[in-house]
Amino acid sequence: MALYQEYEASILKENGIDISNDGTKRDIEYYDPDQMLRLPIEPLERIRKFLDDYNYLTRNNFELRYYQVLALLFTEQFFADHTLSTGPELNNGQDKQRMLAYWMATGSGKTLVMHLNILQYLHHFCKESNARLQIFLTTPLANLIKQHERELEPYVRQLNETYNNRIELIIDTTQGLLQKDEDYFKLPDGGEIRRLVLVDEAHIGLTSGEAGKFRELRNRLNVGNSFLFEYSATFHNVAKELKDEYDNAIIYRYDYARFYGDGYGKDHFFKPIAADTVDAESDGEIKENLDECLRVMEEKLQTFNRVQNDEQFDDDLTKHRPLMAFMGHTVEKPQDEGKDDEVSDIQKVLDYFAALSDVERQNFRSIFGGNIIGPLVVARNPENSSELLLSYGDGEKWGMINVGILRVFTTALQMTALKRVLKFSLIRTYNLKTLTMNPVQ
């Protein structure tokens, strides 16, 4: 039996708690000590305090969904079931358990769980200790690093006011850490330094052909007085030799099937496009496809705007603005980022937006936030080096292109776009000024 199944059985099923029931889910989200559910009160009170502390430190007002409460509750129970001396060790004295993993769907709030895990770790490992704490956050995806820096660095600065600057935060890509010397990862034996390792998108590198380097890094980081939390939307393709290890490590599973079953899955409308189809389609066919996408999106946004102003609707169900996304193939090798085929597909979408007439822009006004005057502008996002932002003229930004290595991508985009400006001088083209005047550093 997998670890999360053991806790589902002992905490939920043995106490007659059915989380398929919507009323039960609401009761868990309240996690009131006086609630009728037979959940352990003390860890629930700690979770409430962790959330209150987190909201105070970050000046937010987050609430937890039932599955986030359960993920943290199972973690609390895990720590209660294990001694916490030089790292979690099974009560029977067998092998140490230094790792927990969370299988949680994209959009389910893994980052919030991660940040609250830090408070859990501090409570269980550092509450009665003056030890220093190293927090390593790593991910194989370079484009997530800036996001984690924006979210985690201010949070840790606030924590250091409470913990007398005893917390050190290191954020780096998996590839970057693999380049470090062995001495970089050593921890002294005396316990004066503890380490918490956080791995986002942890499934990357766990397939049969890739597991070696990832395990090497994890084993170099997770030594001595350390503990590892991993987070991923999927652990489906874990290598066969790692299956038992992850069965013993996944403390909570809230995969997309559960996410969708709870009503959080996205309503979608799409036209499948096979490989190379975009390249083969005529400009007219591409426009017809994109026109259809925008018509559906405009309809959804108009409905969203009406519902937002209608008091009879539950705000919780209508507060999230619909999103339109164009999904392409992920380039896994950094040296292949920004290749011409990738640029050309995106360029065709940009050409489409640039060539929209005033009447067409008016028809899709909700998508562009009412900002429909001026040429299409492509600008760097100053807060994320992997993103380009779209607007018309000086209006508000309404679109985003997520790319890998921006220097390569924008250079190729400028070259191909300049060619198209010469070739199609009569169409409304996108403004390259923001790219040429502000070269990527």
Residue 178 and residue 299: Cα distance in Å, rounded? 48
Residues forming a β-bridge with 102: 231, 252
Q: Indicate the SS3 state at residue 261.
A: helix
Tokens of 420: 């198209």
Residue 119 and residue 57: Cα distance in Å, rounded? 11
Residue 279 and residue 286: Cα distance in Å, rounded? 9
Tell me the pLDDT of the chain (441 aa) as tens digits. Answer: 899 999 999 999 999 999 999 989 989 998 776 666 889 989 999 999 999 999 999 999 999 999 999 999 999 999 998 754 444 443 333 357 889 999 999 889 999 999 999 999 999 888 767 788 999 999 888 878 888 999 999 999 999 998 999 999 999 988 899 889 888 888 887 778 899 999 998 887 776 555 567 777 888 898 888 999 999 998 887 888 888 989 999 999 999 889 888 887 655 555 555 554 555 567 778 888 888 888 888 888 888 777 766 665 555 544 567 777 776 554 334 444 444 444 566 777 888 898 899 999 999 988 998 888 988 888 877 777 677 788 898 888 888 887 765 666 666 666 555 554 434 333 333 444 333 323 332
The 10 Å Cβ neighbour count of residue 65 is 17
CA distances from 179 to 10, 149, 176, 184 (A): 43, 20, 6, 10
Long-range contact pairs involving 16-20 (C-beta distance under 8 Å, separation at least 24): 19/66, 19/70
pLDDT at 369: 86
Would you list the DSSP string of 398-430? -EEEE-SSHHHHHHHHHHHHHHHHHHTTTS-PP
Compute φ and ψ for 255, nearest 5 degrees.
Answer: -75, 180
pLDDT at 429: 39
Q: Around 277, how many Cα atoms within 13 Å sit in the side-chain half-sphere? A: 9
Residue with tokens 């409308």: 269
Long-range contact pairs involving 357-366 (C-beta distance under 8 Å, separation at least 24): 361/392, 363/298, 364/294, 364/295, 364/297, 364/298, 365/298, 366/298, 366/301, 366/302, 366/305
Q: What is the CA radius of gyration of the chain?
A: 25
Please return the burial class of 105, using the count of CB atoms within 10 Å of its CB with bins 0-12, 13-18 and 19+.
buried
Residue 404 and residue 143: Cα distance in Å, rounded? 7
Residue 266 and residue 440: Cα distance in Å, rounded? 35
Residue 130 and residue 415: Cα distance in Å, rounded? 57
Would you list the DSSP string of 114-163? HHHHHHHHIIIIITT---EEEEEEEES-GGGHHHHHHHHHHHHHHHHHHT
Report the residue count for the chain.
441
Q: What is the enclosing helix (H) or strand (E) of 250?
A: strand 250-254
**Contact (CB, 8 A) for 90 and 131:** no
Q: Indicate the SS3 state at residue 325.
A: coil
Residue with tokens 């679109």: 399
Residue with tokens 């140490």: 96
**Which region, left, alpha or beta, applies to residue 194 given φ > 0 means left and ψ of -120 to 50 means alpha?**
beta
pLDDT at 158: 96
**Contact (CB, 8 A) for 170 and 136:** yes
Question: How many Å from the N-terminal Cα to the C-terminal Cα in the chain?
Answer: 51
Which are the contacts of 344, defined by CB distance < 8 A and separation ≥ 6? 279, 416
Which are the contacts of 355, defined by CB distance < 8 A and separation ≥ 6? 427, 428
* Domains in the chain, CATH or no CATH each: 3-261 (3.40.50.300), 277-437 (no CATH)
Residue with tokens 């925008």: 294
Tokens of 315: 């705000």
